[in-house]
Protein backbone atom coordinates (compact mmCIF):
# COMPACT_ATOMS: atom_id res chain seq x y z
CA UNK A 1 0.00 0.00 0.00
CA UNK A 2 2.77 2.45 0.93
CA UNK A 3 4.69 1.65 -2.26
CA UNK A 4 1.58 2.32 -4.34
CA UNK A 5 1.04 5.67 -2.58
CA UNK A 6 4.69 6.68 -3.10
CA UNK A 7 4.49 5.75 -6.78
CA UNK A 8 1.31 7.82 -7.18
CA UNK A 9 2.92 10.83 -5.45
CA UNK A 10 6.03 10.49 -7.62
CA UNK A 11 3.90 10.34 -10.77
CA UNK A 12 1.97 13.47 -9.73
CA UNK A 13 5.22 15.30 -8.97
CA UNK A 14 6.71 14.31 -12.35
CA UNK A 15 3.51 15.41 -14.12
CA UNK A 16 3.78 18.86 -12.50
CA UNK A 17 7.49 18.95 -13.40
CA UNK A 18 6.65 18.26 -17.06
CA UNK A 19 3.92 20.93 -17.02
CA UNK A 20 6.37 23.44 -15.51
CA UNK A 21 8.98 22.46 -18.09
CA UNK A 22 6.49 23.06 -20.91
CA UNK A 23 5.78 26.54 -19.54
CA UNK A 24 9.53 27.21 -19.47
CA UNK A 25 9.85 25.95 -23.05
CA UNK A 26 7.06 28.29 -24.17
CA UNK A 27 8.78 31.24 -22.50
CA UNK A 28 12.07 30.34 -24.21
CA UNK A 29 10.76 29.01 -27.52
CA UNK A 30 12.75 31.52 -29.57
CA UNK A 31 15.99 30.28 -28.01
CA UNK A 32 17.90 27.17 -28.95
CA UNK A 33 16.85 24.53 -26.39
CA UNK A 34 18.88 21.36 -25.91
CA UNK A 35 18.77 18.30 -23.66
CA UNK A 36 21.08 19.86 -21.07
CA UNK A 37 18.68 22.81 -20.74
CA UNK A 38 15.73 20.45 -20.30
CA UNK A 39 17.56 18.34 -17.72
CA UNK A 40 18.71 21.41 -15.75
CA UNK A 41 15.28 23.06 -15.75
CA UNK A 42 13.33 19.90 -14.92
CA UNK A 43 15.76 18.45 -12.39
CA UNK A 44 15.12 15.01 -13.90
CA UNK A 45 17.73 12.71 -15.38
CA UNK A 46 17.67 12.11 -19.14
CA UNK A 47 15.84 8.76 -19.07
CA UNK A 48 13.21 9.88 -16.55
CA UNK A 49 12.63 13.10 -18.47
CA UNK A 50 12.25 11.22 -21.76
CA UNK A 51 9.90 8.67 -20.22
CA UNK A 52 7.73 11.08 -18.21
CA UNK A 53 7.50 13.61 -21.04
CA UNK A 54 6.45 10.88 -23.48
CA UNK A 55 3.80 9.64 -21.04
CA UNK A 56 2.39 13.15 -20.57
CA UNK A 57 2.66 14.56 -24.10
CA UNK A 58 2.71 11.36 -26.19
CA UNK A 59 5.91 12.48 -27.91
CA UNK A 60 9.53 13.20 -27.06
CA UNK A 61 10.52 16.61 -25.68
CA UNK A 62 12.41 17.55 -28.85
CA UNK A 63 9.46 16.61 -31.06
CA UNK A 64 7.17 18.66 -28.82
CA UNK A 65 9.51 21.66 -29.05
CA UNK A 66 9.68 21.37 -32.85
CA UNK A 67 5.88 21.17 -33.10
CA UNK A 68 5.48 24.20 -30.83
CA UNK A 69 7.88 26.17 -33.04
CA UNK A 70 6.01 25.03 -36.15
CA UNK A 71 2.72 26.17 -34.62
CA UNK A 72 4.19 29.60 -33.87
CA UNK A 73 5.87 30.10 -37.24
CA UNK A 74 3.47 28.21 -39.48
CA UNK A 75 6.50 26.56 -41.11
CA UNK A 76 7.15 22.81 -41.25
CA UNK A 77 10.58 22.74 -39.62
CA UNK A 78 11.15 19.09 -40.54
CA UNK A 79 11.89 20.18 -44.11
CA UNK A 80 14.15 23.13 -43.27
CA UNK A 81 17.94 22.84 -43.18
CA UNK A 82 19.59 23.85 -39.86
CA UNK A 83 21.05 27.18 -41.07
CA UNK A 84 17.80 28.11 -42.75
CA UNK A 85 15.95 27.12 -39.58
CA UNK A 86 17.95 29.61 -37.49
CA UNK A 87 17.22 32.45 -39.90
CA UNK A 88 13.51 31.58 -40.00
CA UNK A 89 13.32 31.71 -36.21
CA UNK A 90 15.12 35.03 -36.15
CA UNK A 91 12.62 36.44 -38.66
CA UNK A 92 9.62 35.12 -36.72
CA UNK A 93 10.72 36.83 -33.49
CA UNK A 94 10.80 40.29 -35.06
- Report pLDDT digits (tens) over 11-48: 677 889 999 999 999 999 999 999 999 999 999 999 99
CA 25, CA 37: separation in Å to the nearest integer?
10
Instruction: Report the pLDDT value the prediction gives residue 76, as an integer from 0 to 100.
Output: 73
CA atoms within 13 A on the CB side of 17: 23
CA distances to 10, 26, 58, 92 from 80, rounded to whole Å, are: 39, 21, 24, 14
Average confidence (pLDDT) over 43-59: 95
Could you tell me the domains of the chain? 2-92 (1.10.10)
Instruction: Report the pLDDT value the prediction gives residue 77, as an integer from 0 to 100.
Output: 66
Contact 57, 18 (CB under 8 A): yes
Instruction: Report the pLDDT value the prediction gives residue 45, as an integer from 0 to 100.
Output: 95
Instruction: Report the pLDDT value the prediction gives residue 82, as an integer from 0 to 100.
Output: 56
Instruction: Report the pLDDT value the prediction gives residue 15, as an integer from 0 to 100.
Output: 86
Whole-model pTM above 0.95? no
Amino acid sequence: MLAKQLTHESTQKNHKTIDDLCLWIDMNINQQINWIDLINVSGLDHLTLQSEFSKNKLMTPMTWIRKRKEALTGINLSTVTPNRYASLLAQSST
